[in-house]
Amino acid sequence: MATVSDQELFHLNDSALENHHLENDAFSDKSERDNLEESENELHENSRKTNESESDQSENHGELSQEKKGTTYLEQNYEEFGETGECSQTETVSDENKGLMWILLKQLRPGMDLSRVVLPTFILEPRSFLNKLSDYYYHADLLSQAALEEDSYCRIKQVLRWYLSGFYKKPKGIKKPYNPILGETFRCCWFHPQTNSHTFYIAEQVSHHPPVSAFHVSNRKDGFCITGSILAKSKFYGNSLSALLDGQAKLTFLSSGEEYVITMPYAHCKGILYGTMTMELGGKVTIECEKS
């Protein structure tokens, strides 16, 4: 059995302690190095995330900029207008179309709502009801003149003049526009060279059953806007049918704060089974302004 002296044991302990100290120092250096590397990695990762975030923000900003792009309007150089005078309110149905009418009438009962009935194409106008509503604002420049009137009586006369101007623009013959689908929209605008301004129109079908159309008309430069909604109804009475526009429009002059509440007439078509097919407007129409 070998013996170890105290001196050798002391040297051995010193060596062991030294090795242990070196190991601790090495471990400490390694920990610090690892911590330093982790810090550098985190800094690099954060920098990369920041760059990605800035890149994403710039991309989102670019997308938002693209979303803010305005509507592109195409100029319509030609518009078809119906005939003037009494002949514009009548139409002679051909023998071929009379046969289609008889097939349709066999499905109808007096007082029946026509919103769910498929109508023959020869009595349909090739555009949507939302487009049809824009006809009433074809002469919106008259409202620009009304906004300049200082006297309230002269102003409401100009409003009445504009209101009546919307009824002459109609298709040839007696036609019904197509029913819009839910969520359908229509936009258009008119340029007024007298005031160098634009009147913008937007309409949307907000309900399908019952069919409700909402619209907004605006000309901020000339100082007026119109907002309203229309519930379209149609009734069959045997030899005639009626199209009812239940709703109202609110015309606002921005400078004076006046609000005009306007209602619409109904359209009555008679002579479907016998006689000459004739259309006329009827009902009670009001243009009211409580302020003036």
Half-sphere exposure (Cβ direction) of 38: Cα atoms closer than 13 Å: 6
89 DSSP assignment: G
Find where tokens 């499905």 sit. Answer: 107
Half-sphere exposure (Cβ direction) of 176: Cα atoms closer than 13 Å: 24
Is residue 135 within 8 Å of residue 170, measured between CB atoms? yes
Q: Please list the alpha-helical segments (H only) found in the chain.
A: 6-67, 95-105, 129-133, 141-148, 152-165
Is residue 37 within 8 Å of residue 45, measured between CB atoms? no
CA distances from 292 to 213, 245, 251, 289 (A): 29, 26, 13, 6
117 DSSP assignment: S
Answer yes or no: is 174 within a domain.
Answer: yes
Specify the pTM: 0.67
Angle at which helix 141-148 crosses helix 152-165, to 10 degrees, equals 180
Answer yes or no: is 50 within a domain.
Answer: no
Total number of residues shown for the chain? 292
Instruction: Give residue 90's pLDDT.
Output: 59
Instruction: Give residue 258's pLDDT.
Output: 93
Instruction: Give residue 70's pLDDT.
Output: 74
Answer yes or no: is 221 within a domain.
Answer: yes
Describe the chain by its helix, strand, coil percentages, rounded to 5: 40, 30, 35
Answer yes or no: is 249 within a domain.
Answer: yes
Domain count, the chain: 1
Half-sphere exposure (Cβ direction) of 247: Cα atoms closer than 13 Å: 19
Answer yes or no: is 41 within a domain.
Answer: no
Amino acid at 198: H
Answer yes or no: is 42 within a domain.
Answer: no
Q: Which of 102, 100, 179, 170 is nearest to 134 (CA)?
A: 170
Question: Residue 98 sits in a domain of what CATH number?
Answer: 2.40.160
β-pairing, 90-91 vs 124-128, is: unpaired
- Token pair belonging to 290: 């409580």
Answer yes or no: is 34 within a domain.
Answer: no
Answer yes or no: is 95 within a domain.
Answer: yes
Structural domain range at position 104: 86-289
Measured distance between the N- and C-terminal CA atoms of the chain, rounded to whole angstroms: 126
Q: What is the pLDDT along the chain (292 residues), one digit of tens a residue?
A: 444 444 444 444 444 444 444 334 444 444 444 554 555 555 455 544 444 444 455 455 555 555 667 778 777 776 665 555 555 555 565 565 666 666 666 777 766 666 666 666 666 778 899 999 998 998 999 999 999 999 999 999 999 999 998 887 666 656 778 889 999 999 999 999 999 999 999 999 999 888 999 999 999 999 999 999 999 888 777 777 788 889 999 999 998 899 999 999 988 888 776 777 787 888 899 999 988 7
- CA distance linking residue 215 with residue 202, whole number of Å: 6
